[in-house]
Chains A and B, each alone.
Chain A
Amino acid sequence: KNQVEQSPQSLIILEGKNCTLQCNYTVSPFSNLRWYKQDTGRGPVSLTIMTFSENTKSNGRYTATLDADTKQSSLHITASQLSDSASYICVVSVGAGSYQLTFGKGTKLSVIP
């Protein structure tokens, strides 16, 4: 069964600090891995998308890494801001069809002053 596991479930950090969120997946065949940010009461917004051949991708203060051999990904947030408070969702695309996405449950990040 295709699964995406994220850790930690929730995280509280001080403004200005860095943090790393983890994602492990058991999805086959793998097509690409995405990280989304979901603010409370809003839809998910794409942060990064990585294919099998990419092992890192950045979007501003967000840097995602991918190790396709160990089936692990991480999202590193640098110099956190209060606006980074949100749920971060790891999503893996299965095969060639974009409708075959497996979503993680998300990590809820709270940045406090």
Chain B
Amino acid sequence: NAGVTQTPKFRVLKTGQSMTLLCAQDMNHEYMYWYRQDPGMGLRLIHYSVGEGTTAKGEVPDGYNVSRLKKQNFLLGLESAAPSQTSVYFCASSYQDYGYTFGSGTRLTVV
């Protein structure tokens, strides 16, 4: 039972480059989320989805886009990476208000 799988685990981008982070869950959860974690700060919600084909903005959505074409996958895109987007990104999924499961994270560095 894999839970929540994030790929890649590490990535270095140059300013202006684009990339997509992939999150996959095998628990049939309706809700999926993308968070970023920065030193000295709590996790902050970037975007979330309450079901296949739906997405919504979280607390810090600027510079990111997301898609939920399949229930099990939630993609986070950076169209033009900036150094301020250097962070650790976590994907999570949940059935309802309980039972959040987090992935192991993607460490992204933008130079």
Contacts and interface: CB of A to CB of B under 8 A. Distances in A.
B90 interface: yes
Contacts of A46: 99-100
Nearest to A106: B42
Contact of A98 (B31, B40, B42): B31
B37 to A, nearest CB: 9
Nearest to A97: B97
Interface in A24-40: 31-32, 34
A102 interface: yes
Contacts, number: 54
Contact of A41 (B50, B102, B105): B105
Interface string B69-106: 00000000000000000000010101011111011110
B102 A45 contact: yes
Contact of B94 (A41, A44, A98): A98
Contacts of A42: 104-105
- Using C-beta atoms within 8 Å of the partner chain, give the interface range for chain A: 20 to 34
B91 to A, nearest CB: 8
A109 interface: no
A102 to B, nearest CB: 7
B42 A43 contact: no
Given A99-B50, A102-B42, A106-B42, A43 B98 contact: no
14 contacts: A34-B100, A42-B104, A43-B90, A43-B104, A46-B99, A46-B100, A96-B97, A97-B97, A98-B100, A99-B48, A101-B43, A102-B42, A103-B44, A104-B42
Name the 7 nearest CB pairs between A and B, nearest first.
A43-B102, A103-B42, A98-B97, A103-B43, A99-B48, A105-B42, A44-B102
Interface of A: 4, 31-32, 34, 41-46, 49, 89, 93, 96-99, 101-106
Interface of B: 4, 31, 33, 40-45, 48, 50, 56, 58, 90, 92, 94, 96-100, 102-105
